[in-house]
Structure 1
Amino acid sequence: MAADGQLTRIRIGSAPDSWGVWFADDPGQVPWQVFLDEVAAAGYEWIELGPHGYLPSDPHRLRAELAGRGLRVSAGTVFTALHRDDPGTWEAAWAHVAEVAGHAQAVGAGHLVMIPAFWRDDRTGEVLEDSTLSPAQWRILADRTERLSRRVREEYGLRVVLHPHADTHVDSEENVVRLLDSTDPDLVSLCLDTGHYAYCGGDSVQLIETYGERIGYLHLKQVDPAVLAEVHERRLPFGPAVGMGVMCEPPRGVPALEPVLQAAQSLGVDLFAIVEQDMYPCPPEQPLPIAQRTRKFLRSCGA
C-alpha cells in the first residue's frame, strides 16, 4: 500500500450482476441503459460486459455509449465445459469463446473471465453430472484450459482468468489448488471471487499469499454467514441461495475486504477488482443505493 494508504495497484469496477442481471434477455432485469447510467452515477469507471448479448452487440455503438458515461470495459465472461470429452465439445466451446472474446477485444477489454460448467442446475437444483471429476476429467480440464488460454491470447490478445465458482468442479481450496498445480502458470491465472471462495470454505487472503503469481483478477463479494449456514444445511443450489440473500452488501459479510485488497496490493501488479453482488432477481430500485454505498466503503479502504 502507498504511504498515504491508497491501493494504487487496484482498479475498482462493477458488473451487471450487481444490478440483478444474469441473462442476456430477461424482462425482469433492468434495461442495459439503466445499468450503464447507474453504474456511472455510483462512481465506477470500469465495468464487465456481463452475459453476452445484454449490452449492445455492435461494438461501435457500445463504445459510444460507454464513452458518453466515462466508462471502460475490463472483461467479458464465458461459461465453458472443458472437462467433457464428448464429440464436438471443444469446437462448441471455442465457437462461443471466440464470439465473446472478439466482442470484448473490440470494446477495449483486456481479460476474459472463464467460469466452469455447473454440475447441478443453479436454479432448479437438478443434478446434471457427478460433482466430483475423475482423474481423467481433471487432465482434460487442465489441458483444455491451457489450450483455450493460449489461443485466446494469441488470437484476441486477452488474458483468460478462470473463475472458481459455487456448484462447479472448481470451487473449494482443494479443487482450486489442484487445477493450479496441474496447469502452466504462464497460461492459467485465476479470477479470485472472494464471495464464491468463502461460500466454498476458502480463505482469499491465504490464497493470494500462497499463489500470488496466479492471481490475475479479483471479484469483490461477500457472503452472509447465517444464510450460508442454512444453504449448506439444506444443500441448496446457488440460485436459490442468491435469492435468499447469501451474497450481501459489504461490509456486512465475509470475508473482510480490507485485508484482501491489502494482500492484492502487496503483489505489486495492477489488478482489476470488480464488485459483483449477486442479486437475482431484485427490484429495479435496489441496486443503485447499494452500489453507491459499496463504492464509498471501498474508497474508505483506499481503493
Structure 2
Amino acid sequence: MADKNGITWGIAPIGWRNDDIPSIGKDNNLQQLLSDIVVAGFEGTEVGGFFPGPDKLNYELRLRNLHIAGQWFSSFIIRDGIEKASEAFEKHCQFLKAVGAHVAVVSEQTYSIQQMDDKNIFTEKPHFTDAEWDKVCEGLNHYGEIATKYDIKVAYHHHMGTGIQTKEEVDRLMANTDPNLVGLLYDTGHIYVSDGDYMDLLDSYIDRIVHVHFKDVRKDKERDSREKGLTFQGAFLNGMFTVPGDGDLDFVPVYKKLVDNGYKGWIVIEAEQDPDKANPLEMALKARKYIDENLLN
C-alpha cells in the first residue's frame, strides 16, 4: 500500500544477507527476512541472491502480503557484447515478470572493482573508452526494448567502483540513451560518497528517475575509510553506510523533491552492513521511525 503521496516503501535484503560476501548473515533465511520486513512496516523488498524461484518466493510473499520491487542485474555489455548480454537480461526480465516486479536494476559490471579485495574504492574506479561508452548506451537501449515487452522499466544504478559512478558519468549516460527506454535509479549514498553531493543528481534527472534507494552515510566512517584507502567491502564493513535516521544525510529535501515532481514508484531502504554488528530488524525499525516522523508527518 502506497503512502499518502503514492510512494511505496521497501527495504533491501542486503542488511540481512550480503550477496558480495555470502558469509555475512548466512544464517538469516528468507522467512526471517520477510517476516522482519512485515514487523518493520514495509511493503516489500528487492530480490536477493539467496532467494528461491518464483513459485516458492511468491508463496512466501503471499503469506505476508508483500511485494517485490525489483532485482539487481549485473550487466556485461562491454565484456560479452550486446547480443549475449541481452540474452541474460531477457531471462532476468522473465523472472521479474514471474514475481510481479516492474523494475530491473541494471549496473554495467565490466571492470567493476566493487567486489575486489585489493582496490581502493575511492581512487581506483574504472573508466570507459569512447567506443565502450557507445556500446554500453546502445546495449542499454536494447535492454529497454526487451524490458518493455514484460512491462518492466530499466533503472540504471550509478554505483561506486564502476564505470558509471559520478554525476558527470550519469550525465553522459542520460544524454546518450533513450528516455523512453532507460531510466535512472537514484541512490543517495552512492552519489554522496562519489561526489560529496546528493541533490544535484536528483535535481538534474528528476524526470528520468524510475526507482530510488535511500542509503544513509556516516560521514566520520566515510572519512576514516577514505583515509585508510579501503575497498568497497572494507568501507561498508567499517560502517560507512547505514539506514536513514542513523547517519548524516538529510532525506527531507530528497523526499520533498520526489513528491513535488509526482514520483510514484518505490523508495527502497538499502544499507550494506554486517548484521552481526547492525541488527537488521533494529535497523529496519529505525528507518521506519525516521520515515514516519520526518517524511510523512
TM-score, scaled relative to structure 1: 0.88
Contact 2:7–2:266 (CA<8 Å) still a contact in 1? yes
1:122-181: CA deviations, max 9, x gaps?
241359x97111111111111111111211222x22101000000001111111111111
Contact 2:16–2:25 (CA<8 Å) still a contact in 1? no
Report matched runs for 1:18-57 at 5 Å: 18-22=15-19, 26=23, 28-29=25-26, 30-51=28-49, 54-57=50-53
Match of 1:3 in 2: none
Match of 2:204 in 1: 210
Give 2:284's match in structure 1, choosing from 279, 288, 291. 291
State the SS of the aligned residue for 2:78: coil
Give the Cα–Cα distance (whole angstroms) in 1 for the partners of residues 104 and 29 of structure 2: 23
Give the Cα–Cα distance (whole angstroms) in 1 for the partners of residues 234 and 219 of structure 2: 16
Question: Which one is further off, 183-192 or 284-293?
Answer: 284-293
Contact 1:160–1:189 (CA<8 Å) still a contact in 2? yes
User: How far is the alpha carbon of 1:302 from its aligned partner?
Assistant: 3.3
With over 3 angstroms needed to count, the CA separation of the structure-2 counterparts of 1:287 and 1:258, relative to structure 1, is same
Contact 1:49–1:55 (CA<8 Å) still a contact in 2? yes
Question: Which one is further off, 66-75 or 245-254?
Answer: 245-254
With over 3 angstroms needed to count, the CA separation of the structure-2 counterparts of 1:248 and 1:238, relative to structure 1, is same
The size of the alignment, in residue pairs, is: 289
The letter for the 1-side match of 2:52 is: P
Match of 1:61 in 2: 56
User: How far is the alpha carbon of 1:254 from its aligned partner?
Assistant: 3.8
Contact 2:125–2:162 (CA<8 Å) still a contact in 1? no
With over 3 angstroms needed to count, the CA separation of the structure-2 counterparts of 1:27 and 1:296, relative to structure 1, is closer
With over 3 angstroms needed to count, the CA separation of the structure-2 counterparts of 1:231 and 1:116, relative to structure 1, is farther
State the SS of the aligned residue for 1:79: strand
With over 3 angstroms needed to count, the CA separation of the structure-2 counterparts of 1:32 and 1:24, relative to structure 1, is farther
Give the Cα–Cα distance (whole angstroms) in 2 for the partners of residues 256 and 15 of structure 1: 20
* Structure 1 residue 195 corresponds to structure 2 residue 189: yes
State the SS of the aligned residue for 1:200: helix
Q: Structure 1: 5+ residue runs without aligned partners?
A: 1-5
Contact 2:246–2:286 (CA<8 Å) still a contact in 1? no
With over 3 angstroms needed to count, the CA separation of the structure-2 counterparts of 1:130 and 1:75, relative to structure 1, is closer
Match of 1:267 in 2: 261
Q: Structure 2: 5+ residue runs without aligned partners?
A: none
Report matched runs for 1:116-127 at 5 Å: 116-117=108-109, 118-126=111-119
- RMSD value over aligned CA atoms? 2.3
TM-score, scaled relative to structure 2: 0.89
Task: Considering Cα pairs closer than 8 Å and 6+ residues apart, tell me whether 1 or 2 has the greater RCO.
Answer: 1
